[in-house]
């Protein structure tokens, strides 16, 4: 997750590839990443109203992100989604007291789609095409 040009992102992906390298065969020695689960949420400490964390699962592939979450029982259809400054924000509940904020730089905001079934929300986000650097 994050900016693929960031060194910490590359370090994390190297670690994941090393862990999975001996377990899952892949193309060119790089194992396929099926998914990485991050639980995120909560608001700033000085938020005017308390917010509650919505656990999410984030799956990344070369061209997209898929986010899955089970919305709280009291607000199974009541949510808003926004993408600003490289962050995807999910708010749910009558007073938007439930939240998740994901740093997903590099996605195409026009590609964001959702599917809600039985209280499970899936968010699909396509990535912007990679911009080649001078070294490439």
Both tokens of residue 21?
């390298």
Do 119 and 71 touch, CB atoms closer than 8 A?
A: yes
Q: Number of folded domains in the chain?
A: 1
100 domain residue, yes or no = yes
Residue 103 maps to which CATH number? 2.60.40.790
Convert the pLDDT of each residue in 85-126 to its tens digit: 889 999 988 888 889 999 988 899 999 999 998 888 999 999
68 domain residue, yes or no = yes
90 domain residue, yes or no = yes
Beta carbons within 8 Å of 119's beta carbon, 6+ residues apart: 70, 71, 73, 76
21 domain residue, yes or no = no
Convert the pLDDT of each residue in 59-79 to its tens digit: 988 899 999 998 877 777 788
For residue 83, the enclosing domain spans 40-126
5 domain residue, yes or no = no
Both tokens of residue 109?
């905001």
């Amino acid at each position: 997750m994050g900016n693929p040009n960031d060194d910490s992102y590359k370090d994390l992906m190297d670690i994941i590839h090393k862990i999975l390298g001996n377990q899952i065969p892949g193309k060119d020695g790089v194992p396929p990443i099926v998914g990485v689960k991050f639980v995120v949420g909560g608001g700033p400490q000085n938020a005017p109203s308390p917010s509650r964390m919505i656990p999410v699962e984030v799956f990344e592939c070369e061209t997209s992100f898929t986010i899955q979450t089970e919305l709280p029982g009291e607000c199974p259809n009541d949510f808003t989604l926004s993408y600003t400054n490289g962050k995807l924000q999910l708010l749910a509940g009558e007073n938007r007291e439930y939240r998740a904020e994901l740093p997903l730089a590099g996605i195409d905001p026009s590609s964001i789609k959702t599917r809600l079934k039985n209280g499970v929300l899936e968010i699909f986000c396509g990535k912007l095409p990679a911009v080649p650097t001078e070294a490439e």
